[in-house]
Structure 1
């Protein structure tokens, strides 16, 4: 039993690590491609902000999934409310969902925001001939402050509204299933989180 759990943990870690690599690769290439096409510094900042916001949103989902309980979703699922079944699936796979949202997407968005910040710094230095050490220090500080501050606010919100956030994400997943037929989250085993 312990051997199987050990193998499962290793497989999960390898899957998440590989997933992070490919997500960061695809997102990094996409963002660099768009940055190459975008000549406006303002639009570059908008792209940077969107990537930081994506990291914050996924962090909220990860925390909410870890904090929510099944009972309210069972009541909604019994009434056949769309999204309740998908919300239960999120909770029954809470460890994987939290790892994906907080670590995979969180780390990828952190890496990307740093890379895009570096590109913006180079553009600002090139355009204004300003001292690059000052700009790079300010950019790093701003990106870190927005990311950490946003995640702190997000975590507080996620802990207060965990069940509603999970239900909202469940409704989004239900809409995706309805349109595409694809189930992003499969039903997992019960975790005993019914309180």
Structure 2
């Protein structure tokens, strides 16, 4: 079996495990938080989850669209975040998988679950029973709004990711550099050789 294929399988399995764990954690947290707040705050939480998915989707696309060359110039001047930006671009496939497939997809799933909880809270707050016509209408409207915001947000995010990839990745890299400095751990590591040609 080809060594690259083995690494791909190992990475896919690790991503699957990480996704399972994070999805479980996010679902439990969102359900716990939503169960203790009124519907308006629940709606805000749903919008935050949607926004998170849109942002990470944009980051994943920006990583695949960005080139190394601008960051090499920054790194030579010892600009903070430049080395992390290079590492992100060199590992664009894995970075994009994590951002788009893990965080992005989890956000979509959790936002759907959270929306269902908000629908029940909203219907109950107005005295409508489960399964009533009003609850069904609220569910359809809220689901449509969440879907529209998700798709529209990702469309805008894709445009920005393609046209402002360097700025977006550099901003993300600076946040990662700050976190690495605070937590004293390496979040991103550079590949021994570039897996992506500089443009």
Bin for the TM-score computed over the shorter chain: over 0.9
Residue 124 of structure 1 and its aligned partner are, at CA, apart by 1.8
> How big is each residue's C-alpha offset from its partner over 1:150-186, in whole Å with a ceiling of 9 and x where there is no partner?
0101110111100111111111111111111111111
Equivalent pairs, count: 193
Partner of 1:180: 183
2:65–2:162 contact (8 Å) kept in structure 1:
yes
Q: Where do 1:1-195 residues align within 5 Å?
A: 3-38=2-37, 40-128=38-126, 129=128, 131-188=134-191, 189-195=193-199
Long gaps (5+) in structure 1: none
Instruction: Give the distance between the partners of 1:75 and 1:124, measured in 2 at CA.
Output: 54
* d(CA) in 2 for partners of 1:12, 1:194: 24
| C-alpha distance in 2 between matches for 1:193 and 1:165 | 19
Q: What is the RMSD of the two structures over their aligned residues, measured on CA atoms? A: 1.1
Using the size of structure 2 for normalisation, the TM-score is: 0.94
> Aligned equivalents of 1:55 and 1:80: distance in 2?
32
For residues 53 and 198 of structure 2, the distance between their equivalents in structure 1, rounded to whole angstroms, comes to 29
Query: Structure 1 residues 10, 192: CA separation in 2 closer, same or farther (over 3 Å shift)?
Result: closer
Unaligned runs of 5+ residues in structure 2 are none
Once the two structures are TM-superposed, the CA of residue 139 in structure 1 deviates from its matched residue by 1.3
In 2, the alpha carbon distance for the partners of 1:75 and 1:94 equals: 19
Q: What whole-Å deviation, never above 9, does each CA across 1:56-83 have from its counterpart, x for those lacking one?
A: 1101110100000001000000000000
Secondary structure class of the residue paired with 1:131: helix
Equivalents in 2 of 1:193, 1:172: separation in Å? 25
The separation in 1 between residues aligned to 2:183 and 2:111, in whole angstroms, is 31
Give 4+ residue runs of structure 1 displaced > 6 Å after superposition.
none
Identify which range, 174-183 or 62-71, moves more after superposition.
Answer: 174-183
Deviates more, 1:125-134 or 1:100-109: 125-134
Preserved CA contact (<8 Å) 2:34 2:118: no
Deviation of 1:193 (Å): 2.2
Q: Take 2:106 and 2:89, find their aligned partners in 1: how far apart are those partners?
A: 23
How many angstroms apart in 2 are the aligned matches of 1:138 and 1:87? Answer: 40
